[in-house]
Amino acid sequence: MADLVENKIWESGIYQIEETDDVLGGANGVSNTQGKQLANRTFWLKDKTEQIDVVNSALDNRLDSVEAEVSEARDGQVNLGTRLENDKPKSGIIMIYNRYVIRGFDPSYPVEGQSGRDIYFMDLDDGYGNYALINGQKYNFPDTFITIPHNESEIETITWYFYARINNGSPVIEMAQSVPVGSLVLGKYVSPPNDYAWLSDFYSGGGVWIDRYTDLRIFTEIEGWYASYYGNAYVSLSSGLVSTINYAIHTEVISANSLPHVGELRVTGKSINGFNVSITGSADNVQVRWTLIPFST
C-alpha cells in the first residue's frame, strides 16, 4: 500500500466530492483528492512553522546579544560618569592656626599652701615668663594656677584641657573640657571616676598628676615675625575620591590676621587619604582654599 505523495504547497481550496463523481482510488483518484490537498497544506504549514522556529531562535540570540550590549553600555556610562565626576576638581577650605609656646607654661604640681588639686603653669627654667605666639604676636602670660574639680561620677572619665588665649586683649590661661577656637592648647588632665585624690605629695613632688597629665605644648623660637616652626593643617580626602597620588593641589589664601606675614603655602605628604598644607610665615588664623586637580590616567 502506497502513501499519498505530499507537495509543499498551499492549496487554495479543498475539493468537494460531487454526487456524480465515481469513487476511484489511486494517485489521481477523486477519492484521494481531498486527502492530498489537506496533506499538501499540512506539509506547507509544517515547513513555515520550522522556518518561524529558526527565525525565533535567531531573534532570541540577537536579543541576548543586544541585552548584553545594553548592559555593557550602561555599565560603561556609569563608569564614565564616575570617571567624569572624579576628574572634576575638588575643593575645600581649611583654617591654619599658627600659635606656639616660645617659653614657659611648665606644668607643676602644687606647692605647700595651695590646694592639692591645683596645677601651676609657670616658667621653671629662669623665671623670665610664659611667652607664646598667638594671632601673629608675642604675648607674655602670667603665672597661673588652676584647680581641677573632683570627679564625683562612679563611671564617667572626664578630660580637662588647659589652654592659653587672648581674652579682650589680655593673655589668660584657662581650663575647660574642650579647647575654644583661637586658643593655644597646653595640656590635658584625664580625671578617672571617683577622682578625689590630691595631685601630688607636697614634699616628694610625686603624686597621681604625673600619670594623668599630658603635656601638649608645641615650641617654636621666633625672630621678628618669622618662626622656626610653621603652622599647618591636614586635609583628609573622602574614601575613593582619588585612587593614586597623581593629582595636583592649588592653594590660595582667603584671609589671615596679617596677610603680609602668611609667607609661602606649601603642600606636602600627598597620599590617597589626604595631604598637608603649611605656611612659612608667622600669620595666624590663615584661611586657605585648596583645589584638587586629578590627572587623567
Cα angle: 161, vertex 167, 169; to 5 degrees: 145
What pLDDT does 258 receive?
79
Alpha helices in the chain, H assignment, sequence order:
33-87, 209-212
Q: How far is CA 225 from CA 149, 218, 262, 283, in A?
A: 39, 18, 10, 8
Report the candidate in 208, 157, 201, 162 with the shortest Cα–Cα distance to residue 184. 162
- Is the whole-model pTM more than 0.85? no
pLDDT at 81: 54
- Give the SS3 label for residue 63: helix
Of 158-162, 175-179, 213-217, 275-279, the least confident: 213-217
Among 34-43, 186-195, 238-247, the range scoring the smallest mean pLDDT is 34-43
More confidently predicted of 236 and 123:
236
Taking only the tens place, the pLDDT of each residue in 131-165 is: 888 877 888 999 888 888 888 999 999 999 999 99
Q: Which candidate, 14, 183, 219, 198, places its Cα nearest to that of 106?
A: 219
Distance CA 257, CA 98 (A): 10
Q: What was the pLDDT predicted at 202?
A: 37
Q: Are 155 and 192 in contact (CB under 8 A)?
A: no
Q: Distance between CA 280 and CA 289 in Å, rounded?
A: 17
Give the pLDDT confidence score for residue 204 in this predicted structure: 42
Q: Among residues 111, 120, 116, 161, which one has the least CA distance to residue 141?
A: 120
Share of the chain above pLDDT 90, in %: 12
Number of other CB atoms surrounding residue 21 within 10 Å: 13
Residue 22 pLDDT exceeds 70: no
Q: Is the pLDDT of residue 53 over 90?
A: no
Judge whether 191 and 148 are in contact, CB under 8 Å. Answer: yes
Q: Which residues pair with 280 in a beta bridge?
A: none
pLDDT of 113 reads 46
DSSP letters along 197-259, please? --SS-TTT--STHHHHEEE---B--EETTEESS--EEEEEPPTTS-SSS-EEEEEEEEE-S-G
Name 8's Cβ contacts closer than 8 Å, sequence gap at least 6: 40, 43, 44, 47
Tell me how many degrees the CA angle 274-164-235 measures, rounded to the nearest 5.
5
Residues 55-71: tens digit of each pLDDT: 567 566 666 665 666 56
